[in-house]
Amino acid sequence: MSRRAELVLALLGAAAVVLLSWAVPWLRFVLTIALAKGVAVLGILLLLRAGQVSFGHALYLALAAYMAAFGASRIPDTLLLLPLAGIVAAAAGLAIGLFVSRYRGIFFGMLNLALSMVFYSLLEKFYAVTRGADGLRVPATTFGGAALSAEGQSWAMLCVALIAAFGSGAFVKVYLASPLGSALSAVKTRETRLEFMGVPARLVLLAAYVLSAFLAGIGGVIVALSTRHVTPALAYWTTSGELVFIAVLGGAGGVLGPFLGAAAYELTRVYAAALVAEAWQMALGAVLLLVILFAPGGLWGMGQALAARRRPA
Amino acid sequence: MTALLSARGLKLAFGGVKAADGIDLDVGAGEFLAIIGPNGAGKTTFINMTTGYLRPQAGAILYDGRPILGLAPRRLVTLGIGRSFQLPQLFGEHSVAENLALAIAAREGFWSPFRPLMRPVWRDEADEVLARFGILDLSETRADALNEGARKLVDIAVAVALRPRLILMDEPTSGVAGADKMAIVETLVRVLRDAGVTAVFVEHDMEVVGRFADRVAVWAQGRIAALGPPDEVLADPAVRRDVIGIDPGEDVHAAA
Ligand SMILES: Nc1ncnc2c1ncn2[C@@H]1O[C@H](COP(=O)(O)OP(=O)(O)O)[C@@H](O)[C@H]1O
Ligand SMILES: [Mg+2]
């Protein structure tokens, strides 16, 4: 798919998001969350390119969300909080990445899981600071100094989410085309050759890991500032699993995959939850099974295959 | 002739198997040295020790006069030591041109996320290297779709793109179809000679050895059993019987 076609699709998607948010006001919040998760899943996609699956990236999402919750009283502007909390998540990603980038496969996945569960229990146990399982309320934030009404705030968060999605999507696309991004698939299959080109495979993975932590952090801040409430559940392993689920559902073949997956996931969740209450996880499970068995490229891969069939070469 | 690579008393045993049992060898700058010997003689082990994959239990290796034992492969590359592999190590999901561009990027600056891998200068250089090897037409082919012979050549092209002074090649012609073989070896040797690269290569085809090697080292059970110009070594009755597996007296080239 050409760069231009992808951009046109992204713009169409953005237009659809805005239109839906206007026509069905309660979807505005759902779509903001979907975009936030899409940003976080972009990071999961980078790791998938290297053949690594993290079952612990909720750690970075939750870390940035709590940073936003604590920081909002002192730095009450969204446009400052967002990059700051992202950088905190990236710094944590660097510290942890130095350690986990030595590992591959199941060990990599489980180490991430273990660390995120440690963070989860810290959030639960230190009640004096974090209010335990009750979580923290997030004060309202301004946007470039402007305080907005509740309605205005929800539109502004949607805009922030859209801008973050475009910015991070574009950056990840550029990153994947660079030597550093191209080498990710080499980490998956041919570390020896990479080393014998003079490139430390570990650093290739570490760079992607730090970026993925930053993206998870950005997603986390948007979630915190939109829901206005953070709880330890953000760091629970099911949140990490959700990110991986969305990555597989959307497909790792292109930067639109995560957003397609996140939108499909969130919309299915709200509609299925309304229709069949307890059975929505089952519906999602069945969808995931079908994707893995019949469309390993995910929704994005399916779309590409359909487009290719319609326009024979 | 000054030695670019010197091995002194290399020893390495795996359990009871002596893969290197006192290897002494000097390779002169610009020389083409062929290594022959039966399977399991320790040829790959020697290459692995020289390129930083295996650490000998005793001995020393000097490259350009400095000891290099204990240096990681990554460091050795920057000193100018390149290698190709007995089983080619290519990035299967990438095109041939991208495989080369990754090597060029590794040399020129790998770490900026804003520089595309396929930027024109790197692309052109990748194509230029492929053209020297006569495989420019493979540029866009995915590496995992190549046949065995092409895979070997691309593997060597990647090593050459790193601009080594010394290249170690493990069986560069095995798996290459019979008819094309000599043409491919000729191209390979021309590219390496033009670039002034010193080459050590493991080879089973005695015709290739006879035509292209300056000297031959015969490996046997972790030792160098014979060393010298090809016409002398390949005519040695013991070598012919034990390594080449033909009766003394038969013509050398008839074995190929
Ligand atoms: N990493 C290793 N671990 C255990 N044994 C090895 C290893 N590498 C080589 N060997 C053994 O050392 C001997 C020499 O192997 P190798 O150098 O691959 O021989 P060649 O390349 O001449 O066929 C063989 O007996 C082989 O089984
Ligand atoms: Mg071998």
- SS (HEC) of chain B: CCEEEEEEEEEEEECCEEEEEEEEEEEECCCEEEEECCCCCCHHHHHHHHCCCCCCCEEEEEECCEECCCCCHHHHHHHCEEEECCCCCCCCCCEHHHHHHHHHHHHHCCCCCCCCCCCHHHHHHHHHHHHHCCCHHHCCCEHHHCCHHHHHHHHHHHHHHCCCCEEEEECCCCCCCHHHHHHHHHHHHHHHHHCCCEEEEECCCHHHHHHHCCEEEEEECCEEEEEECHHHHCCCHHHHHHHHCCCCCCCHHHHC
Instruction: Confirm or reject contact between A167 and chain B (CB < 8 A).
Output: no
Domain boundary among B109, B130, B162: B162
For the segment B84-104, the average pLDDT, to the nearest whole number, is 93
Question: For residue B254, what pLDDT band results from cuts at 50, 70 and 90?
Answer: very low
Chain B residues with beta carbon closer than 8 angstroms to that of A183: 102, 110
pTM here? 0.91
The single-letter code of the amino acid at A100 is V
The mean predicted confidence, pLDDT, of chain B is: 90
Q: Does residue A124 contact residue A133 with C-beta atoms inside 8 Å?
A: yes
In chain A, the residue whose alpha carbon lies closest to the alpha carbon of B77 is: A198
Q: How far is CA B245 from CA B204, B223, B254, B255, in A?
A: 11, 18, 12, 9
The single-letter code of the amino acid at B12 is L
> For an interface test with B, which of A46, A192, A195, A197 has the most B Cβ atoms less than 10 Å from its Cβ?
A197
CATH number of the domain at B223, please. 3.40.50.300
Locate tokens 């050895």: which residue?
A: B209
| Residue B222 Cα: closest atom of ligand 1 | 14
Q: Residue B120: is its pLDDT beyond 90?
A: yes
Residues B239, B172 share a domain: yes
In chain B, the residue whose alpha carbon lies closest to the alpha carbon of A201 is: B74
Ligand 1 pocket check: which of B23, B45, B54 to mutate, most ligand atoms within 8 Å of Cβ? B45
Domains contained in chain B, number: 2
Q: Residue B248: is its pLDDT beyond 50?
A: no
Domain boundary among B162, B179, B201: B162
Tell me whether residue B153 is in a domain: yes
pLDDT of residue A276: 74
Q: Residue B117: is its pLDDT beyond 60?
A: yes
Tell me whether residue B248 is in a domain: no
Domain boundary among B146, B162, B178: B162
Residues B147, B211 share a domain: no
Determine the topology of domain A3-310 in CATH. Answer: ABC transporter involved in vitamin B12 uptake, BtuC (1.10.3470)
Residues B176, B156 share a domain: no
From CA A67, how far away is CA A86, in angstroms rounded?
A: 9
Higher pLDDT, B239 or B207: B207
pLDDT of residue B246: 60
Of the listed ranges A235-244, B55-64, B79-88, B232-241, the one predicted with least confidence: B232-241
CB-defined contacts A:B, below 8 A: 81
Residues with Cβ < 8 Å from A18, sequence gap 6 or more?
A158, A162
Question: For residue B256, what pLDDT band results from cuts at 50, 70 and 90?
Answer: very low
Residues B170, B150 share a domain: no
Q: Does residue A62 contact residue A174 with C-beta atoms inside 8 Å?
A: no
Q: How many angstroms is it from A191 CA to the middle of ligand 1?
A: 21
Chain A residues with beta carbon closer than 8 angstroms to that of B83: 196
Exposure string for B11-40, b = 16+ CB within 10 A, e = fewer: bbeeeeebbbbebebbbeeebbbbbbbeee
| Residue B37 Cα: closest atom of ligand 1 | 22
The DSSP bridge pattern shows strands A229-230 and A136-137 to be: antiparallel
Q: Residue B228: is its pLDDT beyond 80?
A: yes
For the segment B56-66, the average pLDDT, to the nearest whole number, is 95
Residue owning the nearest CA to atom 16 of ligand 1: B42
Q: Does residue A215 contact residue A40 with C-beta atoms inside 8 Å?
A: yes
From CA B241, how far away is CA B136, in angstroms rounded?
A: 42
pLDDT of residue B86: 86
Chain B residues with beta carbon closer than 8 angstroms to that of A179: 101-102, 105-106, 110-111, 115, 117
| Among A204, A52, A90, CA closest to B117 | A204
> For an interface test with A, which of B78, B89, B108 has the most A Cβ atoms less than 10 Å from its Cβ?
B89
pLDDT of residue B177: 72
> For an interface test with B, which of A171, A182, A195 has the most B Cβ atoms less than 10 Å from its Cβ?
A182
> Which stretches of chain A score pLDDT less than 70?
1, 277, 311-313
Torsion sign across C-alpha atoms B213, B218, B222, B225? negative
Q: Residue B18: is its pLDDT beyond 60?
A: yes
Residues B41, B28 share a domain: yes
Residues B237, B133 share a domain: no
pLDDT of residue B252: 46
Q: Residue B136: is its pLDDT beyond 80?
A: yes
Residues B186, B72 share a domain: yes
Residues with Cβ < 8 Å from A229, sequence gap 6 or more?
A135, A136, A137, A138
* pLDDT tens per residue across span B138-161: 999 999 999 888 898 999 999 999
Tell me whether residue B250 is in a domain: no
Residues B13, B3 share a domain: yes
Residues with Cβ < 8 Å from A257, sequence gap 6 or more?
A45, A247, A250, A251, A298, A299, A300, A301
Domain extent at residue B120:
94-162
Question: For residue B255, what pLDDT band results from cuts at 50, 70 and 90?
Answer: very low
From CA B256, how far away is CA B250, in angstroms rounded?
A: 12
pLDDT of residue A306: 85
From CA B29, how far away is CA A153, in angstroms rounded?
A: 72
Q: How many angstroms is it from B220 CA to the middle of ligand 2?
A: 12
Chain B residues with beta carbon closer than 8 angstroms to that of A175: 113
